[in-house]
A and B are shown apart, each in its own frame.
Chain A
Amino acid sequence: MNKDKTLRKDIRKDFPILSKKILKTKDLVYFDTAASAQKPQVVIDELNQFYKSHYSNVSRGVHTLSVESTLRYEEARKKVQNFINAKSENEIIFTKSATESINLVAQTFYDKYMSAGDEIILSLMEHHSNLIPWYFLRDKYGVIIKFANITESGEIDVNHFESLITPKTKIAALTHLSNVYGSKIDEKVSSICKKNNVAILLDGCQSAAHLRIDVQKLECDFFVFSGHKTYGPSGIGVLYGKEDLLNEMPPYQGGGGMIGEVTTDKVSYAELPAKYEAGTPPIAEAHGLGIAIDYMNNAGIENIINHEEELTKYAYEKISELDFVKIYGDGDNRNSIISFNIENIHSHEVSSFLDVEGIAVRAGHHCCQPLMKHLGVNSTSRLSFGMYNTIEEVDIFINALIKCKDFFIK
């Protein structure tokens, strides 16, 4: 492991897609890691190797391949447990996506702990995946959803959040790191929840690959993230839940693998974590995620964080110097994400223009329509960094932004 707090200089070479030329001539500048991260060669190779040499279904049967698959699948769970510092591997549930993880919590938490008239607190900057599962509860069961305000700097207004809590409030579901502002949640929010006996789910999709995650320090009851934003494969998500809660809550889906005993008139359920993993799980994907976690650990989580901090700070300063660009949120609490608009140019135009320059940025509402409405915009452009981005790429981006403005505003 690299211990001098700087990232290995040749890290880009580990990501084969980064040598792709856009429109045959332009070097790819991939600034869309918040949508999905690119994959290092070792993850690609290991997926290949897994299917070639070890693949079978897991936790069923006793033959050699079943054992080899199961070992790797459970090893991945252990890696995730260490990655986020969960107390037990029973607290790590593999799902197909972070979205499924949130749906799982919404449904089963409601079933165990809530009834009509109870309250949930979300914030105005949640991703649709952390809104709609809770809207389902509102529409089906009549629970009440309250929204915490967002400050000008792009953070949850902690005082407003606290003022929303009543004896009826059962759970708060909030983004750990905003996919629009790049802002990290104030740690006070968790302690406020704890003090008031409100459960808290943190959506860690944007934080898992960009911050050091410690679910015990975060004092959260649930934490979700996805494999594909964490340099791993798509098709796998993680749910962390406190063991006592996961034990008390009912199963989510029914099917193979999640049962204790089945007769014609009743069923008992498997112990954790199998209780929540009905059906054949994303086996190779879990293994791939485990390899991606190894890869991040080898690169050094602190090194990645330092590198991305430097990139973000540099890009924020450079963009701030452009008087025709508006950045959403401020610079203090910002991690690897910058959302912006060029005055009088729609984000689609910006994104198409940058694409021709080889630069991939996200344009649109970022699955945050309530936040877009709050900001009074239809869409924004967003650049987001991964460990493989460089200062030189930021310079290319800045030059392209200037060209873009000149192209559209003559």
Chain B
Amino acid sequence: MPAHSTVTETHVITTTGLTKTYRSPRSRGREVTALDGVDLHVREGEVYGVIGQSGAGKSSLIRCVNLLERPTSGTVTVDGRDLTALAGRGPRAGKELRQARSRIGMVFQHFNLLSSRTVQDNVELPLEILGKSGKERSRKALELLDLVGLADKAKAYPAQLSGGQKQRVGIARALAGDPKVLLSDEATSALDPETTRSVLQLLRDLNRQLGLTVLLITHEMDDVKTVCDSAALMEKGRIVEHGTVSELLATPGSELAAALFPVAGEASGDDRTVLDVTFHGEAATQPVVSRLSRTYNIDISILGAAVDTVGGLQIGRMRIELPGRYEDNVVPIGFLREQGLQIDVLGREALPVKDGAQ
């Protein structure tokens, strides 16, 4: 675990058996399952990414966390409070649920800022709902705008801001109620890559500075790679893989790891052995490739590599090619495994393991 991480072992968001089915009015009586028994555990202080294609149910999932959508069954617990129990029966949110929501910040893909209010008044809105005095509201709003780097835009209207600035206002607004948890619903999907990076960086900084737990959903693998401590992959309303980034990487056959650290390259001949070397943790600091080359006096070609520094540690994967068939390379492969590296030999399928990366 990275040294300056704020992650603790307490679960701050937990969903158990979360199911959501819609009965769309068009397809008479036919039910659409958006969530199919989702168990999610987000630890305090981490940035948790949920990734999946559109329609996978990730949006329903995040909207169920603050009960903007009522789950059909299952429970949602945020910061020790069972929100599903607070919700009551009707479609309207009762007082207790509304109070709980004010401690959960949310940022949206389309920012959802009120066009009739200035930037400062937008940030003050949650404080008005909390019944804070005018003086306190403006002090807090200006402080938050400073935190997101928009102190000079307090009197501007949202229409006068760029997309990235709007999302910063959205983030400042989400923080106004001093939330423990921030939900980010595709917050960067409407932004260009440059702005996306700066907004993600801001979320990361806030996570570090304030110990804020962030649950973000996205369809961009890059977002996960940039900021997330943990990630989950959703398909058809279910979580098919989940874990910390290095846990996922250590899981043979992990789709998420393959997508996060894609390596490509084919063997250059029949009498070659191609290996995928996955390194994470301590092993990553060892110069294994050159040591292997020297020890066994073999030529190694690197076919592809995807390496990243996550929390100060190098993690990633590399595809290398050794001369000779697999049978000739048993000893070097054994050497690599002894170094604590995970080795997958291409063409000799490891058993794909799914849903077991914990």
Partners in one complex: no
